[in-house]
Amino acid sequence: MTDLPRAADRHRPAQQRWEEGKALRKTTPRGALAAWRKTPERPDPVMALVDARRHDIARFQPIRYARMNASPAAFLRGAAVIMAADLGGLPNSGLWVQACGDCHLRNFGTFATPEGTPVFDLNDFDETLPAPFEWDLKRLATSFVVEAAVRGRPARDGIHLARNAILAYRLYMRALANTAPLEMWRARIDAMEAVEAIEDPKRRAREIQRLSRWADNADPGYGHLIEKRKGVFRIVARPPTLLPMTGQADDTYELAARSAFDTYRHSLPEEQRLLLDRYRLEDVAFKVVGIGGVGTFCAIGLFASPDGATLLLQIKEARMPVLAPYTKPSKYANQGRRVVVGQRIMQAQSDIFLGWTEHPGDDQHCYVRRLKDPRLARVAEDLAENALEHHATLCGMALARAHARSGDPAVIAGYMGGGDAFDKAIGSFAVAYAEQTKEDWALLRAAIASGQIEARED
């Protein structure tokens, strides 16, 4: 395996780098990427899940398993550690990029840039690490095959969705290979342009209206999470996913959260610290996050200015990424910093409040970002629910743009080629691994039914 491209490797014409990528097909034929075969040495997936989460907050583990129990698609979202081990034992292209590490169709969203422009992009980087570019693409394609099956759609629909994402990735990577570096770096997927391309006229009109309403209202859409009691701002508790920390008999988590927010401040550039210092931390609450993060430490901090302007920041524990055993070690010992750097590399425009915590002697690393606006997030959620074909195309494009920033788009494009050989290979893997996912999910369900694993919603 190689690492990310060196600067000197990029100082050659795109055509020369394209030919270099094409030559790599002799080392790893594109057809070799289609292979999936379960070996006798493959660890039990249920035990792999349990072992990977042995340091989780115990009270939330049953919630995680209950969510994964819902469907093969939900299982896949929570089983990144299993798929990472499977990918690590397969042939790979040797073309490394800053990988997401947990790339599935629900890991893309709509959110605002610092300037307030809604964009479509990757939105979760807990597992980010340099890795072969096709690992992300294989997981993404598999998620579409599994999603189609869960919805009761014919098998050919799942293959079609996966191929949509792969084709969009390949074509956009080729376009980026012929783009000036600065222009490529600035590339982004405008959310309004994305919804305007929806084929269904009623759905298109609804999403355009939703985005327009969001743009007309500058205030973040989380007012329902904030209340003011006797002149003091508080976060509204919403059990079981949002639990108060302030004023509890056991103040361990509250002290940890407040201390983490304090150390996080020092990771920000000076100009961002000046902005954050216009607010004061008023309240903290424990937050139960998505399937992959249930059981890890996550909190929301409510900040307010003297004149009542509010800001919600989310702090989340960052652990060793699932790809770590199968790649080179991260250059960052602080896992929160690893997440932040990876996000800044991969996202078109990252949150200005993005930073990490660093406390001497503390091995619990966290990162901080602004809490996502739920009104804007619903645009991508609706695309995933009701315009899955279009969503697949957008995901493929967003992933290509993210990979092009750290990898060499010309070499990757040359390796993939202008035909559909690469598309077929990744699509074939996705179909085979979707079946493996169903088998693994069945084992989890059996473990829950037998009482081996506890699963409950709250």
Rounded alpha-carbon distances, angstroms, from residue 181 to 186, 217, 340:
9, 35, 22
Owner of token pair 């698609």 = 73
| Per-residue confidence band for 297, with pLDDT thresholds at 50, 70 and 90 | confident
Q: Say how far apart CA 358 and CA 379 lie, in whole Å.
A: 35
Phi-psi region of 394 (alpha: psi -120 to 50; beta: other; left: phi over 0): alpha
| Per-residue confidence band for 326, with pLDDT thresholds at 50, 70 and 90 | very high
Which of 45-54, 148-157, 239-248, 365-374 shows the lowest per-residue confidence on average (mean pLDDT)? 239-248
Percent of the chain with pLDDT over 90: 72
**pLDDT tens digit sequence for 79-96:** 999 999 999 999 999 999
pLDDT of residue 303: 96
| Per-residue confidence band for 229, with pLDDT thresholds at 50, 70 and 90 | confident
Under 8 Å between Cβ of 74 and 113: no
Q: Where are the domains of the chain?
A: 7-216+385-449, 223-370
| Per-residue confidence band for 187, with pLDDT thresholds at 50, 70 and 90 | very high
**pLDDT tens digit sequence for 90-135:** 999 999 999 999 999 999 999 888 888 899 999 999 999 999 999 9
Tokens of 343: 């996000």
Antiparallel, parallel or unpaired: β 129-132 and 189-190: unpaired
pLDDT of residue 294: 65
The more confident residue out of 378 and 98 is 98
Residue 449 has pLDDT above 90, yes or no: yes
Whole-structure pTM value? 0.94
Mean pLDDT, rounded, for 138-145: 98
pLDDT of residue 288: 78
Q: Say how far apart CA 173 and CA 270 lie, in whole Å.
A: 35
Residue 169 has pLDDT above 90, yes or no: yes
Average pLDDT of every residue of the chain = 91
Dump the DSSP string for 284-330. Answer: EEEE---GGGTTS-EEEEEEE-TTS-EEEEEEEEE---TTGGGSPPP
The more confident residue out of 140 and 111 is 140
Give the angle subtended at the CA of 389 by the CAs of 383 and 394, to the nearest 5°.
65
pLDDT of residue 44: 95
